[in-house]
Amino acid sequence: MEQLLAELKQTDTGSVMCNEPLSEYTTWKIGGPADVLVIPQNIQQLVSVVRLLRRYEVSWTNLGRGSNMLVSDKGIRGVVIQPGEGFDYARFDGTLVHAGSAYSFIKLSVMAGKEGLTGLEFAGGIPGSVGGAVYMNAGAHGSDVSRIFKSADIVLETGELVRYEIDQMAFSYRHSVLHEQPGIIASATFQLAAGDRKEIASTLASYKERRLRTQPFTLPCAGSVFRNPPNDYAARLIEEAGLKGLRSGDAEVSTQHANFIVNTGQATADDVLTLMATIRSTVKDRFGVDLVPEVLVVGER
């Protein structure tokens, strides 16, 4: 690792930090240190990092805005890669929007609305980056990324830079091909449609009001913890099981939205995992439903 670290610092790969606490990089404010955190600022640096790690046979983990991720208390071994400010951009070209992987998905929906483009309204309350949204096929309000996706530039684990079209992404509910074929999204292009600015703004405002009223964004959280089972809602099952307000340490099943777990102070990853296990077993016993986690659990256990 010392030789790799020296080469990372000598090569044009971006910022390199050792033993960096990842609680500073996740919306849950939870997570131990990364052995090494690298923040490349452009595609060339990103490609260089991935190729270097492949040569040294060192594992890597991609970190976006940390809004859908639970990092273990022991942290992440190997290297964590977080696309930096050079990936934080959006550009409009007619009804197409090109965005870097680090760009806020919420901000993108707002900017699209100001451009009079419809199709991204569902993203108005999804915290996270464009890269994370594509990776997870993020969605809400009956729509998701797959409905507007055109292409993405991706650095595969081999270090090869490729462009994937929609038929290569294998989108399904909260899933993309990158779950099986590791890679880091550098940018994405979405196909939108011309719309009425006032109608778009009204829709965005209503979605925002609903989320502020029903979801606990005043406390650190990671969005929905479990996927909705077919023809049902995880929050309904968890609430019906009487689990709202259940605590483990400083982690709590939100009293506002049962499919959120909030950090009320100094919650640990183990606290969250304990609640997740209790929720899954209780819902299984009560309703015979296996809840599938939506959050990504990463790091040394």
Which amino acid, 172? S
Look at residue 169 and give its three-state secondary structure: coil
Residues 6+ apart with CB under 8 A from 209: none
User: Whose CA is closest to 256, among 204, 208, 210, 206?
Assistant: 210
Q: Which of 121, 174, 248, 280 is catalytic?
A: 174
Q: Specify whether 197 is catalytic.
A: no
Q: Specify whether 24 is catalytic.
A: no
Give the span between the Cα atoms of 254 and 250, in whole angstroms: 12
Which structure tokens are listed for 253?
A: 């099943």
Burial of 230 (0-12, 13-18, 19+ CB in 10 A): exposed
Beta-ladder partners of 282: none
User: Whose CA is closest to 26, among 223, 259, 279?
Assistant: 223
User: Whose CA is closest to 110, among 102, 122, 96?
Assistant: 122
The answer to whether 283 and 289 have CB atoms below 8 angstroms apart is yes
Give the span between the Cα atoms of 117 and 189, in whole angstroms: 14
Helix axes 43-56, 2-10, angle to 10 degrees: 160
Which residue matches tokens 């102070």? Answer: 265
Give the span between the Cα atoms of 297 and 301, in whole angstroms: 10
Give the span between the Cα atoms of 31 and 193, in whole angstroms: 40
Q: Specify whether 294 is catalytic.
A: yes
Q: Which of 67, 129, 224, 248 is catalytic?
A: 224
The answer to whether 51 and 45 have CB atoms below 8 angstroms apart is no
Which residue matches tokens 């968890």? Answer: 238
Catalytic residues: 174, 224, 294
